Structure 1
Amino acid sequence: MSADTVRLWDPVIRIGHWSLVAAFIGDYFLNEAGDGWHRWLGYYAVAVVLVRVVWGFVGPRPARWADFWPRPARLLAHAKALLSGGHMHRLGHSPLGGLLMILMLLLMLGLGVSGFLMEEIDYFWGEDLPRDIHVFMADSLFWLACVHVAAALVESVRTRENLPWSMVTGRRKTLHD
């Protein structure tokens, strides 16, 4: 079996991915909640997510929602392959990977909305609900990101392919006989 590479992840996907990583790390670990940098990184992350949503409709095939949307049949087939020790080789997102990515994007968007609402706290008569939701979503995104990184590393070992590197170079192995 020989392995060639194919261009998979376009610059919009790769720059967006690493921008969200940097924004989340910056806001979660380095910036004080509510300070100027925290807010601006949050606004930037929301803009990146919105670009990604649009790109999912107009971008190249691997970036399109239709290419990897985690429909129940796709999720079931992927789960069966994993449970049987098999591998579901897809050039783009696996069904479970697509589901995880969608959840992380939704949480990032939710963080932007809840962060904005926290700025407008007077509208909520001093309630802590927006802050509590914001903290819950940030912690949930942290743990989903940990699952994402762990899954990419495990799959890299299982498939003998450096999946995180493909998000740097944009290239991915395509296997053929």
Structure 2
Amino acid sequence: MPQAPPEGVKVRLWDGPVRIVHWLLVALIGFSWWASEDHLDWHQWSGYGVVGLLLFRIYWGFAGGAAGRFASFVRGPRATLAYLKTVSARTPSVTAGHNPLGALSILALLGLLAVQVTTGLFAVDVDAYQGGPLSHMVSFDQGRRLADFHELSFRGLQALVALHVAAVVFYLVWKRTNLIGPMITGFRWLPVDPGLARAPLWRLALGVALAGAIAWFISKGLRL
């Protein structure tokens, strides 16, 4: 009988939807940043893509596979503090999915991203020539304040992304745990197989349809 590698067993951790949404958000946020100055039409369409991805990820956090569900990785203060005490130890992390600190990072990123896209939907530029699809629902002054907050929240999002990347590098260098590979391949070596359940295909199809329809409806200014 072949022996298992020293790392343990190869586990299917992240499903395709989680990985695809993760990397598409990385690409679209970067593209939106680049297009924000001289290509506002592209910036707007990219923002609609982010809205759809964000809506789907929130849905998938309740209806998706076990590893990607919020209930599987969001922990209370006691568990988070207990995990915090182990971070300085130079031992590989064997948490199946997001650890309690990573969970806080994910929630913060999703929350701030929600603020970012929501303010963008209502924002108006200085000459009132161009605005988000929901800018007709607010006054010009309100739209300008939301535009300023849209820019400010992006600075916060940049800081969180930088912190997220620093944490990934820390785990790779100090704790000898590669978090990038599993987010690409979906697989990770763990001491034991946690037996993570997968979501049925119909839930994926439903989530894509709902997120796409809502994002499209928003892009039309909530007008049919």
TM-score normalised by length of structure 2: 0.72
Could you tell me whether the CA contact under 8 Å between 2:66 and 2:72 is conserved in 1?
Answer: yes
Whichever residue aligns with residue 158 of structure 2, its letter is: F
Cα drift, residue 108 of structure 1:
1.3
Aligned to 2:53: 48
Residues 34, 112 of structure 1: alpha-carbon distance in 2 compared, 3 angstrom cutoff: farther
Could you tell me whether the CA contact under 8 Å between 2:90 and 2:174 is conserved in 1?
Answer: no
Give me the identity figure in percent: 32
Alignment of 1:95-114 (within 5 A): 95-114=100-119
| Counterpart-to-counterpart distance in 1, 2:184 and 2:164 | 16
Q: Which moved more, 1:167-176 or 1:54-63?
A: 167-176
Following TM superposition, where does structure 1 have runs of at least 4 consecutive aligned residues deviating by more than 3 angstroms?
83-88
Map Cα deviations across residues 69-123 of structure 1 (whole Å, 9 max, x no partner). 1321221111121256666530100111111111111111111110011021782
The yes-or-no answer on 1:143 pairing with 2:159 is yes
Aligned to 1:32: 37
The yes-or-no answer on 1:90 pairing with 2:95 is yes
Aligned residues: 176
The yes-or-no answer on 1:64 pairing with 2:69 is yes
Of structures 1 and 2, the larger Rg is shown by 2
Residues 82, 162 of structure 1: alpha-carbon distance in 2 compared, 3 angstrom cutoff: closer
| Counterpart-to-counterpart distance in 2, 1:83 and 1:168 | 26
Whichever residue aligns with residue 37 of structure 2, its letter is: E
Which residue of 107, 116, 124 corresponds with 2:121? 116
Which residue of 162, 178, 182 corresponds with 1:162? 178
Q: 1 or 2, which has the higher helix percentage?
A: 1
Gaps of 5+ in 1: none
Aligned to 2:22: 17
